[in-house]
């Protein structure tokens, strides 16, 4: 599929003010980062912003000397762990990290998933190349991703983000059904217009429109 409509940086910027996003990493879980070959000492982790890391070879923690952390030097900015001696061939190399470490693989997978969901509504407009529409879809992709991440925890109160999510989905459904027509033009500031179809009132009508859902 095409690239996600939002980047990991876009999502992290939105979540930085969102204490309820379930990004906390289990400090007791060992994450496999590769296999030893007797030569390689550096392994890329799935994490960003690690502050504390421990390395294991076949489940045994390496402590003499302990591996070191290399921040942001791995694939796509991921953090790496560096062993002083290369793990033996055929061994399993794994790590544990602090609770504040962010799993980039989780964020990337969520962004791919929500972008595919959006494509399901916009099939008549694919591939999307219009700059104004891409900017609109970036915000909606971030919102949908935030909801999916927050869905990893149970919330016992009404979540205002859920209301935003429902509004975004209704917009996408309107586009998918043809009730909302997208005028694709980089120079046109109004990329959304209401096109009525069927017998249902428009989801997004002008204020005080008696036929709108307000």
Q: What is the mean pLDDT of the chain?
A: 82
Mean pLDDT of 41-48: 97
Under a CB-based contact definition with an 8 Å cutoff, are residues 150 and 22 in contact?
yes
Q: Is 96 helix (H, G, I), strand (E, B) or coil?
A: strand
Q: Which residues contact 128 (CB under 8 A, 6 or more apart)?
A: 2, 5, 122, 134, 137
Between 23 and 92, where is the model more confident?
Answer: 92
Query: Does 157 have pLDDT greater than 90?
Result: no
Between 86 and 24, where is the model more confident?
Answer: 86
Which among 62, 59, 73, 72 is positioned nearest to 31, based on CA atoms?
59
Helix (H) or strand (E) holding 8: helix 8-15
Name which of 86-95, 111-120, 152-161, 167-176 the model is least confident about.
Answer: 152-161
In this structure, the strands spanning 53-57 and 80-82 are: unpaired
Query: Does 158 have pLDDT greater than 60?
Result: no
Query: Does 193 have pLDDT greater than 70?
Result: no
Q: What's the pLDDT band for 135 if we cut at 50, 70, 90? A: very high
Give the pLDDT confidence score for residue 164 in this predicted structure.
Answer: 79
What percent of the chain lies above the pLDDT cut of 70? Answer: 77
Query: Does 86 have pLDDT greater than 90?
Result: yes
Between 20 and 164, where is the model more confident?
Answer: 164
Query: Does 211 have pLDDT greater than 50?
Result: no
């Amino acid at each position: 599929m095409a690239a996600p409509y939002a980047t990991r940086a876009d999502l992290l910027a939105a979540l930085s003010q969102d204490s309820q996003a379930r990004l906390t990493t289990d400090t007791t879980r060992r994450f496999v980062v590769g296999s030893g070959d007797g030569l390689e000492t550096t392994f890329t982790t799935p994490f960003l912003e690690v502050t504390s890391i421990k390395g294991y070879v076949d489940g045994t923690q390496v402590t003499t000397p302990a591996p070191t952390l290399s921040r942001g030097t791995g694939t796509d900015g991921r953090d790496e762990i560096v062993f002083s001696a290369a793990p033996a061939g055929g061994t399993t190399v794994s790590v544990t990290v602090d609770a504040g470490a962010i799993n980039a693989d989780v964020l990337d997978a969520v962004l791919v998933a929500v972008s595919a969901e959006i494509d399901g509504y916009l099939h008549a407009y694919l591939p999307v190349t219009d700059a104004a529409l891409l900017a609109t879809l970036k915000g909606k992709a971030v919102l949908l991703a935030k909801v999916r991440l927050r869905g990893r925890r149970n919330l016992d109160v009404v979540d205002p983000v859920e209301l935003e999510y429902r509004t975004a989905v209704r917009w996408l459904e309107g586009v998918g059904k043809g009730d909302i027509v997208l005028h694709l033009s980089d120079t046109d500031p109004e990329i959304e217009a209401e096109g009525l179809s069927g017998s249902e009132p428009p989801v997004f009508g002008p204020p005080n429109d008696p036929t709108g859902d307000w």
